[in-house]
Amino acid sequence: MTSFLLAAALAVVVVLLLLLRPLLWKTRVPEASRRQLNTALYRDDLAKLDFDRAAGLIDEAGYQQAHAEMRHRLLEETREEEAVRMPARSRWTVALVSLAVPIVAGSVYWAIGNPEQITGVGAVPQTTQKDIELMVAGLAAKMEQDPGNLKGWAMLGRSYKVLRRPVEAQKAFERAGTYLDGDAQALADYADVAATNAGGNFAGQPIALIEKALRVDPDNIMALWLAGTAAYNNNEYDKTIRLWEKLATQLPADSEDARTIQASIAEVRAKSGRPAATVAAAAPGPANAGATAANSAAATKPAPAGASVSGVVELDRALKDKAKPEDTILVIARAPGARMPVAVIRARVADLPLKFVLDDTVSMSQQAGISSLSEVSVEARISKTGMAKPEPGDLISTPQNVKVGASGVSLRVSQVRP
């Protein structure tokens, strides 16, 4: 801000100097030139006067009177003041211009400029979790005074969902009533919190809400994800793949969400024993029959000896009250520094302590299994929603880099993902 003010002040000074220059510095004819000119004119006039007297055109008395007038005129015209004074009007003009320029410039900038970026006064403060909770509490109080506002209840339900308060969210969605009927996203959000409150069980109300959402909008991303998750929980792998592949077409190809859903699809393929190439078309034709056969052979080919990582997953006692038996636990292997999983095992918290073996049979891709790496990063994550994408509130272990072939790896879930 200081540098801006200095630059602005310098600009004002330059403008004032340009505007006031004619008033402050007057251009004057040199004094010697003016006196010399008047003297020369006087001499010419005197010579003419002497000629007239000699020619008898003027008498002595007229000559003396004219000579006296010429001397007086010469004295008046050649007199100079000791100093050039500025007229009073110029002084007032300088004062008014000096005040008006900075005042008008500052006012115009303050009116149409952006002083907030300089002073920082208008900077938007960071909204904290407490601020959000206070706003949601205010909305809840308002809804109690206006219970017939169905749109407001839907908004409150979404707000509670964002705050990860599914019980309150479900109650708010229930009070939204028929307002949700034409809103696929609201129906999907309602189904999500209802399933969460049911311990991840989609039977009953959650699946009914999901089906209703898909009737309103068959391409709704949340509804497709939840429908696929529900099918996966029921071991309906073909249906899961079909729903999630449709979901994948709704996502930008290079986005993180697209990579996550592709990883989930690959996980289902691996678990169902379906080669990757057969998923793109339910009934491959002659053109790709050779590729299908090759991939099927790769899928059934046993992994090289020692091309696995094994160990046990345990839940820290301090976090046991944060996990339910129905919550999903994922054991994930990645290439060190990579984001995409190489191999994944899915189980339930009820199975803990969980003994695991990560090898090519649970790899995300039959062409790039764990046996193709010399080292992997392994970790465990407990998810309440069963989603492949990590979410705030998930329970996680510290990732460990281990050699492929390592056994006895201990993964302790002891942290909460922020």
Q: Where are the domains of the chain?
A: 2-119, 129-250, 309-416
- The amino acid occupying position 62 is G
pTM above 0.75, yes or no: no
The confidence score (pLDDT) of residue 279 equals: 34
CATH classification (class only), 129-250: mainly alpha
Residue whose C-alpha is closest to residue 248's, from 212, 272, 279, 224: 224
State the pLDDT at residue 191. 92
Total Cβ atoms within 10 A of residue 376: 24
What confidence score (pLDDT) does residue 84 get?
Answer: 45
**What local confidence, expressed as pLDDT, does residue 334 receive?**
87
pLDDT of residue 208: 94
Amino acid 29: pLDDT: 47
What are φ and ψ of residue 377, in 5° steps? -105, 125
Sort strands 395-397 and 409-416 into parallel, antiparallel or unpaired. Answer: antiparallel
The reported pLDDT for the residue numbered 97 is 66
* Cα dihedral 219, 179, 167, 201 sign: negative
HSE value, Cβ hemisphere, 13 Å, CA-based, for 124:
3
Instruction: State residue 315's pLDDT score.
Output: 94
DSSP labels, 93-108: HHHHHHHHHHHHHHHH
Report, as ranges of residue numbers, the positions in the chain whose pLDDT lies below 50: 29-32, 81-86, 121-124, 277-305
Q: Do residues 263 and 388 make contact, with C-beta atoms less than 8 angstroms apart?
A: yes
Environment class of residue 140 by beta-carbon count within 10 Å: exposed (0-12), middle (13-18) or buried (19+)?
middle
* Residues 201, 327: Cα–Cα separation, whole Å: 10
Report whether CATH 2.60.40.2990 matches the domain 309-416.
yes
Angle between helical axes of 129-145 and 150-162 (0-180°, round to 10): 160
